């Protein structure tokens, strides 16, 4: 996620150096009115709609690449509530086998077909695999109720909350006369290449007139906290070339897996860049492969890494870290490594100077309100 407007990121759990596991809602800082028993007169009027929209979204499988059913659901849901909905079709990744069409859902309160949006409210509708069905620990909500299912947090929780928040903002009449200054954007492909958001950034939805956003609110799980930045990322494919040989004569060969293992351990033990705000750069050795048989010295070994970058600048911080990583590995062996690292980005700082930094729904509404005044 990279944007050049002020951003309120309700986002990733990897924030400001806190690498926390996602927690169920239980125990998170949630206003008691949301989790209070159904009979409680403090329950917000939107609760039933929010929970039911969330359930419908989670029940539809939408693993990255296969998002069209959940997209169509949103189209119907929003059109039934008088939104103008525009589908933004992505070009097929494989033109010879296009599969189901993939589209971002862009929507704003109708009936104006030429809106002038100032605030973009966005999240994503794809999930990582596998599909895990919706479940709920009990019918009557209490503080211990647990709602589960793939995407229930990341990010269908955000999608449902954003739509419900906008509907209640509209209902309140607080943005009467400028309803279409808020635009919803739900993108595909966030969990893989980010192709949905990339496509929107390039096309700006082909809106007429082109949108001039003053701010964007991104929905991602952050345990109910306002997030003022996130780490950068890049990926690397590393190939090691050694010499094959019989395991009985180790001096005749050069083990590619051994060189790779030693290089990776050194990388894992090195501080590749850290900062107070963003913590440590971390390296995930996501794949490690090599060799052909137990008693053959491996000639080839490969690893695929995802590196979460904790230093800036946003453009270039990743290159600084990638260079360090390569230097550290080459200190194990000067010639055996080949690196193929992509262009990621360094840390992204967001302008999040808004009142109230705890509970997102009310903060977000208040912020939208303020921006529109």
Give the residue nearest to ligand NAG (CB). Answer: 69
**Closer residue to ligand NAG in complex, CB, 146/265:** 265
In terms of DSSP bridges, do strands 103-109 and 83-89 run parallel, antiparallel, or are they unpaired?
antiparallel
Distance CA 355, CA 353 (A): 7
Q: Would you call 190 a catalytic residue per the annotation?
A: yes
**Closer residue to ligand NAG in complex, CB, 58/368:** 58
Long-range contacts of the stretch 243-251 (C-beta < 8 A, 24+): 243/297, 243/299, 244/296, 244/297, 244/298, 244/299, 245/296, 245/297, 246/295, 246/296, 246/297, 247/294, 247/295, 247/296, 247/297, 248/295, 250/297
> x/- string (CB under 6 A) for ligand NAG, residues 239-278?
--------------------------------x--x----
The answer to the question of residue 75 lying near ligand NAG (CB under 6 A) is no
Longest dimension (CA), the chain: 82
Stretch that binds ligand NAG, among 27-35, 137-145, 178-186, 232-240 (CB under 6 A): 232-240
Distance CA 43, CA 297 (A): 66
DSSP state of 149: S
**Closer residue to ligand NAG in complex, CB, 109/151:** 151
The answer to the question of residue 342 lying near ligand NAG (CB under 6 A) is yes
CB-neighbour burial class of residue 61 (10 A; exposed 0-12, middle 13-18, buried 19+): middle
**Closer residue to ligand NAG in complex, CB, 85/238:** 238
User: Catalytic pick from 67, 88, 190, 223?
Assistant: 190
- Least gap, CB of 228 to ligand NAG (angstroms): 17
Q: Which of 36, 56, 275, 280 is in the footprint of ligand NAG by CB under 6 A? A: 280
Nearest to 150 by CA among 170, 169, 167, 126: 126
List of residues contacting ligand NAG (CB under 6 A): 17, 60-61, 63, 66, 69, 235-237, 271, 274, 279-280, 304, 340-342
Q: Which amino acids are annotated catalytic?
A: 190
């Amino acid at each position: 996620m990279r944007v050049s407007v002020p951003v309120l990121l309700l986002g990733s759990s990897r924030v400001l150096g806190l690498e926390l596991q996602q927690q169920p809602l239980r125990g998170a800082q949630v206003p008691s009115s949301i989790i209070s028993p159904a009979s409680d007169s403090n329950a917000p009027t939107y609760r039933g709609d929010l929970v039911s929209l969330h359930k419908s979204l989670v029940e539809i499988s939408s693993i990255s690449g296969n998002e069209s059913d959940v997209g169509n659901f949103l189209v119907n849901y929003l059109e039934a509530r008088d939104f103008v909905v525009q589908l933004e079709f992505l070009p097929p990744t494989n033109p010879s086998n296009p599969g189901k069409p993939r589209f971002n859902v862009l929507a704003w309160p109708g009936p104006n077909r030429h809106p002038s949006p100032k605030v973009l409210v966005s999240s994503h509708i794809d999930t990582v695999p596998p599909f895990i069905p919706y479940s709920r620990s009990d019918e009557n909500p209490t503080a211990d109720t647990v709602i589960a299912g793939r995407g229930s947090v990341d990010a269908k929780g955000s999608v449902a909350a954003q739509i419900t928040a906008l509907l209640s903002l509209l209902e309140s009449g607080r943005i009467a006369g400028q309803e279409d200054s808020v635009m919803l954007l739900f993108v595909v492909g966030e969990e893989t290449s980010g192709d949905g958001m990339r496509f929107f950034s390039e096309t700006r939805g082909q809106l007429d007139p082109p949108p001039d956003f003053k701010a964007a609110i991104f929905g991602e799980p952050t345990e109910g906290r306002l997030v003022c930045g996130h780490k950068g990322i890049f990926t690397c494919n590393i190939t090691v070339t050694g010499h094959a040989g019989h395991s009985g004569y180790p001096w005749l060969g050069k083990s590619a897996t051994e060189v790779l293992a030693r290089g990776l351990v050194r990388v894992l033990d090195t501080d590749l860049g850290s900062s107070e705000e963003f913590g440590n750069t971390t390296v995930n050795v996501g794949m490690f492969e090599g060799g052909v048989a137990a008693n053959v010295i491996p000639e080839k070994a490969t690893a695929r890494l995802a590196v979460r970058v904790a230093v800036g600048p946003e453009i270039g911080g990743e290159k600084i870290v990638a260079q360090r990583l390569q230097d550290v590995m080459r200190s194990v062996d000067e010639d055996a490594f080949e690196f193929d690292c992509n262009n990621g980005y360094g840390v992204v700082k967001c302008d999040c100077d808004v009142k109230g930094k705890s509970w997102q729904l009310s903060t977000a509404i208040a912020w939208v309100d303020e921006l529109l005044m």
